[in-house]
Amino acid sequence: MRIAIAADHAGFDMKKHVKERLQTWGHSVEDYGVHDTRSADYADFGRPAAQAVAYGKADRGILIDGAGVAMSIVANRIPFVRAVVCNEAYMAEMARSHNDANVLCLGGRMIGVQMVDRILETFLNTEFEGGRHERRIAKIEE
């Protein structure tokens, strides 16, 4: 899977872990920054990564800031992006199976690496159920 990843300074350490884990699992990762812990504006990095998903350059996106919220706000401003903040695996499962979420937002200051690994695995491996959910997604995209 092609995955776009980005973080601000608060998500930098978590992004390093996530990127390494994704590559270990055999995914192709395009890193949109940041590349250190100097203060950075989340929109400068989250927007291009989310646009990569919207434009088909990436299959999924993963955005990381302190709580995950700011990146989700930025990503959800882009048409055809359905970004969700997930703090545990069941949220990721429901976001994928019912909402066909294509961007995962994580809080680098909120959850540990073991939970992140479970969330990532669930987000990447859960299929969209379709059916009645397709009608609901279509209403979002109108």
Active site residues: 98
Name the β-bridge partners of 45. Answer: none
Residue 119 in tokens? 């969330």
**In 10 A of CB 94, how many CB atoms?**
15
End-to-end CA distance of the chain: 27
CB 3 within 8 A of CB 61: yes
* 103 backbone dihedrals φ, ψ, rounded to 5°: -130, 125
Q: List, in order, residues 6 or more apart from 115 with CB less than 8 Å away.
A: 87, 88, 89
Name the β-bridge partners of 106. Answer: 64
Least Cα distance to 70 among 33, 97, 105 occurs for: 105
